[in-house]
Amino acid sequence: MINTIDMRDLRHLNLFVGVTGVPTRYCFEYNNAIIFCVPRAQVSKSIGREAQNVRKISGIIKKRVKVIPKPNGIEDVKWFIEKIVEPIQFKEIEIKDDEVILTAGSQSKAALLGRHKRRLIEMQKIIKNFFGKEFRIV
């Protein structure tokens, strides 16, 4: 899973645990949003009634906040990426030996790459940390 936690991520994790009461070690940034991964059974508790916990955290750190279930293994890579890039749609994901290949249309591909390939680099880092594989968009 995630190899290193910097001070900013540690502050985000401490804030998340303080507000929600749900312990987690997984926090990362994608597309200028902070995404927290929690156990599947704890997702609704961490979001809170009428998303009050998410709104409170978002107001404090001044960024969008998402809460998604933590993947259990490489078999969960497809829905994990879908949850991260939501609402952008893509065609398919192919998992090879040491590589995850995402196939997308031209509009989706542009949205997944981002300006100066910023989103691609962020996603490569996320996939490398969670699954230990390289990531490519075709």
What CATH code is assigned to 74-137? 3.30.300.20
The domain made up of 7-69 is a member of CATH 3.30.300.20: yes
pLDDT of 3 reads 65
Determine what percent of the chain falls in helix, strand and coil, rounding each to the nearest 5: 50, 20, 25
pLDDT of 97 reads 86
Cβ atoms < 10 Å from Cβ of 52:
11
Query: How far apart, in whole angstroms, are the C-alpha atoms of residue 49 and residue 41?
Result: 15
Residue 1 has pLDDT above 90, yes or no: no
pLDDT of 2 reads 56
Query: Counting every residue, how long is the chain?
Result: 138
Cβ atoms < 10 Å from Cβ of 119:
21
Q: Stretch 4-30: mean pLDDT, rounded? A: 92
Residue 67 has pLDDT above 80, yes or no: yes
Cβ atoms < 10 Å from Cβ of 50:
8
Residue 117 has pLDDT above 60, yes or no: yes
Q: What is the pLDDT of residues 120-131, one digit of tens each?
A: 999 999 999 889
With tokens 């249309």, the residue in question is 105
Kindly report the pTM of this predicted structure: 0.90
Residue 80 has pLDDT above 90, yes or no: yes
103 contacts 138 by C-beta, under 8 angstroms = yes
Q: At CA 55, angle to CA 51 and CA 56, rounded to 5?
A: 115
The H or E element containing residue 18 is helix 7-20
Grade residue 75 by pLDDT with cuts at 50, 70 and 90. confident
Residue 14 has pLDDT above 70, yes or no: yes
In the chain, where does the domain assigned CATH 3.30.300.20 lie? 7-69, 74-137
